[in-house]
Structure 1
Amino acid sequence: MLRIKNVESGYGRLKVLKKVTMHIRAGEIVTIIGANGAGKTSLLKTVSGLIPARSGEILFDMKEIGKLPPEKIVFLGCSLVPEGRQLFAPMTVKENILLGAYPQYRKKRGDQVREDLERIYGLFPRLRERERQLAGTLSGGEQQMLAIARSLMARPKLIMMDEPSMGLAPLVIKDIFSIVTRLRAEGSTVLLVEQNAKAALGIADRGYVLETGRIIMQGTAEDLLSNREVQRAYLGRDLDAEGTM
């Protein structure tokens, strides 16, 4: 579904991504883990068109999207749930959700929008309860659910999530990751950027480790969870030290 080959991008003179190559198959959850500043958010912004790729290829459903503007990429079926949620705080929950349906409105699919809204409320019952509430008054977990709901209204084939667990309590994080696995069960493909490496690898099929703008490791989620270097750097474990205790 998504193929990235030798992609480089950055901000001004600063090169952030350096020859990044990776792929995602339809129906997978793929996670990207790495430290702060590794380039994870920049990678998602490059795929979604918010940062233009300087070189390399980005193929989505066999179409080159590396030079397309963000709105065209969304129309093709690739949506981003941004870091920090970026909701419209003075607008209601329902208004924020419907903003995500812009591609469907452009295609004059009002009936689909109503169906999709009911599906969203089925996924997120709390959003139905709070549909008239201002988005800025929601809890952190509810805001994250709203950000995911808004992206789903575009009917994406691929949904990219940037740090969905950031700032949330452990029980809320569990709910968010349960939603991600449910999306896969319903046919969605997910690219997940997460600092909570253990939680992300716990639900993912495969993963990539990004370090200073380069992919330094890849493998199945199980392989990465058991890898000593990943455990030391991202899971807070040092097996050699544990072995001497």
Structure 2
Amino acid sequence: MLEVHGLEAAYNESQVLFGVDLTIGSGELVTLLGRNGMGKTTTVRCIMGLLKPKSGVINFAGRSIAGKASYRIARTGLGLVPEGRQIFPNLTVRENLIATARLPHSAGEQPERPWTLDRVMALFPILRERSAHWGNQLSGGEQQMLAIARALMTNPRLLILDEATEGLAPLIRDEIWSTLAELKAQGLALLVIDKHVSALADMADHHVILERGRVVWQGNSDDMRRNADLTQSYLGV
């Protein structure tokens, strides 16, 4: 579904990515791991068209999206839950959800059950209770649920979550993990950036670790569990 090969990117004269490779199949949950500043968010920004790559291949659903405008990339079926949530603080929960809503309309992307207001509020019942609240009246956990629900309202085929549970209380983190597991079970492909490796290992199909803008390891959860030095060396856990 998503194929990234030889991705290089820079901010002005400072190169950040050096030949990153990443592949996500239909219905897979893949993690992008690494310490802060290693290039994870830059990789996401390139995929989503928020930063133009220096070079490399980015294909989604068999088509090149490298260097395309971000709104065009979003229309192909890529959804983003950005770092910091970035919900609209002066819109209500309901308004946040409908502001960027998009129904799938091409022949190749008709899901059995499209994401609607009722469906995302069934996934996150607290959002129904808070539907008339302003975005800035929500707790951090509620804002993250809103950010995920808002991305689902674009009816993506691949959902990217940058720092999926950063700053959230343990109980809320568990709720987010349960939600991601449910989305995966429903067939949605996911790319997840997060620091909580053990929780991700229980549900992920594949892991990619970045170090200074390069892929230093890829493998499945069993491989990761067998290699304790791996997480200590590159993730600090």
TM-score exceeds 0.5: yes
> SS at 2:103's partner residue?
helix
Match of 2:74?
74
In 2, distance between residues paired with 1:172 and 1:31? 20
Contact 2:115 2:153 in 1 (8 A): no
In 2, distance between residues paired with 1:173 and 1:235? 20
Per-residue Cα deviation, 1:109-156 (whole angstroms, up to 9, x for no partner): xxxxx9611110110100001000011111111000000000000100
Match of 1:93?
93
Match of 1:165?
165
Q: Give, in angstroms, the shift of residue 235 of structure 1.
A: 5.9
In 2, distance between residues paired with 1:136 and 1:13? 37
Q: Tell whether 2:191 aligns with 1:218.
A: no
Match of 1:65?
65
Match of 1:119?
119
Q: After superposition, where does 1:204-215 map in structure 2 within 5 Å? A: 204-215=204-215
Q: Structure 1: state its 5+ residue gaps.
A: 108-113, 237-245
Match of 1:51?
51
- Cα distance change, pair 162–115 in 1 and its aligned pair in 2 (3 A): closer
In 2, distance between residues paired with 1:172 and 1:57? 36
In 1, distance between residues paired with 2:152 and 2:58? 22
Match of 2:18?
18
Per-residue Cα deviation, 1:92-125 (whole angstroms, up to 9, x for no partner): 0010011230x33999xxxxxx961111011010
Match of 2:34?
34
Q: Give, in angstroms, the shift of residue 229 of structure 1.
A: 2.2
Q: How many residues align?
A: 231
In 1, distance between residues paired with 2:98 and 2:9? 32
Q: What is the TM-score of this pair, normalised by structure 1? A: 0.90
Q: Write out the 4+ residue segments of structure 1 that deviate beyond 3 Å after TM superposition.
A: 103-107
- Cα distance change, pair 63–126 in 1 and its aligned pair in 2 (3 A): same
Q: Tell whether 2:73 aligns with 1:104.
A: no
Q: Give, in angstroms, the shift of residue 225 of structure 1.
A: 2.6
Contact 1:100 1:152 in 2 (8 A): no
Contact 1:197 1:235 in 2 (8 A): no
- Cα distance change, pair 115–211 in 1 and its aligned pair in 2 (3 A): closer
Contact 1:198 1:235 in 2 (8 A): no
Per-residue Cα deviation, 1:72-111 (whole angstroms, up to 9, x for no partner): 011000011000000111110010011230x33999xxxx
Match of 1:241?
none
Letter in 2 for 1:214: R
User: Which structure has the bigger radius of gyration?
Assistant: 1
- Cα distance change, pair 128–92 in 1 and its aligned pair in 2 (3 A): same
Q: Tell me whether 151-160 or 217-226 shows the greater mean CA deviation.
A: 217-226
Letter in 2 for 1:7: L
Of all paired residues, the percent bearing the same amino acid is: 39
Q: What is the TM-score of this pair, normalised by structure 2? A: 0.93
Q: After superposition, where does 1:151-162 map in structure 2 within 5 Å? A: 151-162=151-162
In 1, distance between residues paired with 2:35 and 2:215? 12
Match of 1:133?
133
Q: Structure 2: state its 5+ residue gaps.
A: 107-113
Per-residue Cα deviation, 1:39-84 (whole angstroms, up to 9, x for no partner): 0011111100001111010000010000111100110000110000
- Cα distance change, pair 132–48 in 1 and its aligned pair in 2 (3 A): same
Q: Tell whether 2:181 aligns with 1:181.
A: yes
Contact 2:104 2:155 in 1 (8 A): no
Q: Select the structure that is richer in helix.
A: 1
Aligned-CA RMSD value: 1.9
Match of 2:146?
146
In 2, distance between residues paired with 1:203 and 1:100? 29
